[in-house]
Amino acid sequence: MNCQGIPLTCKDSPSLCPTQSITRIPIEKRMSHQSNLIKSDIDAYLKQHEQKELLRLLTCGSVDDGKSTLIGRLFYDAKLMFEDQLAAIEKDSINQGTTGGSFDPALFTDGLTEEREQGITIDVAYRYFSTNKRKFIIADTPGHEQYTRNMATGASTADLAVILIDARHGVLTQTKRHSFIVTLLGIKHVLVAINKMDLVDFSEERFEEIQADYRDFAARLDIPDLHFLPISALKGDNIVDAGNNMPWFQGSTLMNFLENIYIGSDRNMEDFRFPVQLVNRPHLDFRGFCGTIASGIIRKGDEIMALPSKKKSRIQSIVTQDGELDEAFTPQSVTLTLEDEIDISRGDMIVRPGNVPKTDQHFDAAIVWMDEEPLVPGKEYYFKHSTHVVSGIVNRLRYQIDVNTLHRQEAAKLELNGIGRCHVSTTAPLFFDGYRRNRATGSFIVVDRISNVTVAAGMILQRNTSDNRTDYWDDLEVESNSTEDIESVTPQERAQRLAQTPATLLLTGKPGSGKTSLARTLERKLFAAGYSSLVLDGPVLRRGISKDLDYSMEGRSENLRRATEIAKIVNQSGLIAILSIVAPSSTVRGKAASSFTEHPFLVVHLDPPDAEIARRNADRDVMTVAYESPDQPDLKLDTQRQTVSECADQIIELMTNQTILR
Are 25 and 9 contacting, i.e. CB atoms less than 8 angstroms apart?
yes
pLDDT value at residue 651: 93
Are 162 and 60 contacting, i.e. CB atoms less than 8 angstroms apart?
yes
Rounded to the nearest 10 degrees, what angle do helices 553-572 and 586-594 cross at?
20
pLDDT value at residue 102: 58
The DSSP output letter for 21 is: P
Domains of the chain: 8-260 (3.40.50.300), 273-351 (2.40.30.10), 358-460 (2.40.30.10), 489-657 (3.40.50.300)
Q: How far is CA 54 from CA 125, 260, 567, 654, in A?
A: 18, 12, 43, 46
Find out whether the peptide bond into 331 is cis, omega within 30 degrees of 0.
yes
pLDDT value at residue 448: 92
For residue 579, give the nearest of 561, 590, 567 by alpha carbon: 567
For the chain, helix (H) and strand (E) counts, in that order, are 17, 30
pLDDT value at residue 293: 93
3-class SS string, 409-456: ECCCCECCCCEEEEEEEEEEEEEECCCCCCHHHHEEEEECCCCCCEEE
Distance CA 236, CA 559 (A): 45
Q: How far is CA 249 from CA 56, 202, 204, 231, 637, in A?
A: 26, 10, 8, 10, 36
Q: What does the pLDDT look like over 237-262, one tens digit per residue?
A: 898 888 889 999 998 899 899 989 88
Distance CA 162, CA 141 (A): 11
Distance CA 351, CA 337 (A): 14
pLDDT value at residue 348: 93
Phi, psi of 254 (to 5 degrees): -60, -50
Rounded to the nearest 10 degrees, what angle do helices 173-184 and 204-218 cross at?
50
Distance CA 178, CA 143 (A): 8
Low-confidence ranges of the chain (pLDDT < 70): 1-40, 45-49, 81-124, 142-150, 404, 463-488, 491, 619-624
pLDDT value at residue 28: 37
486 burial via Cβ count (<10 Å: 0-12, 13-18, 19+): exposed
Are 167 and 249 contacting, i.e. CB atoms less than 8 angstroms apart?
no
Query: Which DSSP helix (H) or strand (E) runs through 388?
Result: strand 388-401
Phi, psi of 180 (to 5 degrees): -65, -45
How far separated are the first and last CA of the chain, in Å rounded? 80
pLDDT value at residue 143: 56
Check: pTM over 0.75? Answer yes or no: no
Distance CA 110, CA 94 (A): 15
Distance CA 285, CA 280 (A): 11
Question: SS3 for 236?
Answer: coil
How are beta strands 443-447 and 454-460 bridged, if at all? Answer: antiparallel
pLDDT value at residue 602: 92
pLDDT value at residue 580: 92
Q: What is the CA radius of gyration of the chain?
A: 28
Distance CA 335, CA 321 (A): 9
